[in-house]
Amino acid sequence: MLLKEIKNIYHRELDAIYEQEEVDSFFYLVIEHYLDLERFVLALKPYLVVTKAEEQPLFEALGQLKLEKPIQYILGSTQFMDLEFKVNENVLIPRPETEELVRWIIDDYENLGIKSVTERVYRGVCIPEAEIKNLVKGFEEEMKLHGLGSISELYNGDPPHHGKGTISQAWSVAEMRRIIWLIEKTEKES
Q: Could you tell me which residue, 58 or 144, shows the higher pLDDT?
A: 58
87 located within any domain = no
Q: Could you tell me which residue, 167 or 114, shows the higher pLDDT?
A: 167
Q: Tell me which of 41, 75, 109 is where a domain ends.
A: 75
- Is 48 found in the same domain as 14? yes
Confidence of residue 24 (pLDDT cuts 50, 70, 90): very high
23 located within any domain = yes
> pLDDT tens digit string along 78-132?
887 777 888 888 877 877 777 777 777 667 666 666 554 334 444 444 445 565 5
Residue 48 has pLDDT above 90, yes or no: yes
Q: Tell me which of 75, 104, 129 is where a domain ends.
A: 75
Say which range, 14-28, 60-74, 99-113, 128-142, has the weakest mean pLDDT.
128-142
CATH code of 48's domain = 1.10.8
Say which range, 27-31, 50-54, 162-166, has the weakest mean pLDDT.
162-166
Mean of all residue pLDDT scores within the chain: 79
Task: Return the H-helix or E-strand segment holding 114.
Answer: none
Q: Could you tell me which residue, 128 or 133, shows the higher pLDDT?
A: 133
How many helical (H) and strand (E) elements, i.e. helices and strands, does the chain have? 8, 6
pTM: 0.57
165 located within any domain = yes
Query: What is the DSSP code (8-state) at residue 95?
Result: P
Q: Which domain holds residue 12?
A: 3-75
Q: Which of 5, 109, 104 has the alpha carbon at shortest distance from 62?
A: 5
- Is 184 found in the same domain as 140? yes
Listed in sequence order, the residues at least 6 apart from 17 whose beta carbon sits closer than 8 Å to its beta carbon are 65, 66, 68
Looking at the 3D structure of the chain, how many domains does it have?
2
CA distance 35 to 182: 38
Residue 146 has pLDDT above 60, yes or no: no
DSSP string, 124-187: TEEPPHHHHHHHHHHHHHHTTTSSTT---SEE-SSTT--EES-S--HHHHHHHHHHHHHHHHHH
119 located within any domain = yes
Residue 170's CB: how many other CB atoms inside 10 A? 19
pLDDT value at residue 156: 66
CA distance 118 to 185: 12
Residue 175 has pLDDT above 70, yes or no: yes
